Amino acid sequence: MAKYRGYRITLNRNTTGSTYAVVGQVLEIGDIGSSRDQLDVSAHGDEWMDFLGGRQEGTEVSIRYAYDPSDSQQTQIKSDYDNSLNKLYQLIHPDYSAKVQFNTISLGWLVRPPQDGAVEAEVTLKIVNPGVTIV
């Protein structure tokens, strides 16, 4: 079974059309995916409860990066948040033939100034329709 180094993945933000640019100095990327609620479809007389999967709900993804105000993609992340814009992102690994793509809205943005390290910024994204796709 093949094994891949996670640190080789880059986070890419959609700029225009099918063009993506790398977000620099990403320190951590949260879980990317979705979950489904359970729909109870049990009938009177059933001895077992029956369930169906409901609609998908995307995860909230936190992305933490070493803050660099001269990095255009980092400043655009803040602009996306300020303007409530939907934005596509891709995770790209040099050994994968496919990319993990996800559509998001920004829920939060903050700057964290630690005393013993680089200034960090963090954006919280919510995955929305069409969710996570492999392209």
Whichever domain contains 111, its CATH number is: 2.30.110
- Report residue 90: phi and psi, to 5°: -135, 140
The pLDDT tens digits of the residues spanning 68-100 come to: 999 999 999 999 999 999 999 999 999 888 999
- Is 47 within the bounds of a domain? no
How many CB atoms are located within 10 Å of the residue 99 CB? Answer: 15
Distance CA 49, CA 43 (A): 8
Using the Cα atoms of residue 28, residue 84, residue 21 and residue 89 in order, give the sign of their dihedral: positive
- Using alpha carbons, list the distances in angstroms from residue 10 to 14, 28, 53, 100: 13, 11, 32, 11
pLDDT of residue 78: 96
Give the mean pLDDT of 94-115.
94
Tell me the residue range of the domain where 129 lies.
Answer: 7-36+52-134
Q: pLDDT band at residue 5, thresholds of 50, 70 and 90?
A: confident
β partners of residue 22:
12
* Strand 100-112 with 87-92, pairing: antiparallel
Count of domains for the chain: 1
Residue 43 pLDDT more than 90?
yes
- Is 73 within the bounds of a domain? yes
- Is 44 within the bounds of a domain? no
Q: pLDDT band at residue 2, thresholds of 50, 70 and 90?
A: confident
* Residue 49 three-state SS: coil
Tokens of 57: 């709900």
- Is 120 within the bounds of a domain? yes
Give the mean pLDDT of 44-69.
95
Residue 1 pLDDT more than 90?
no
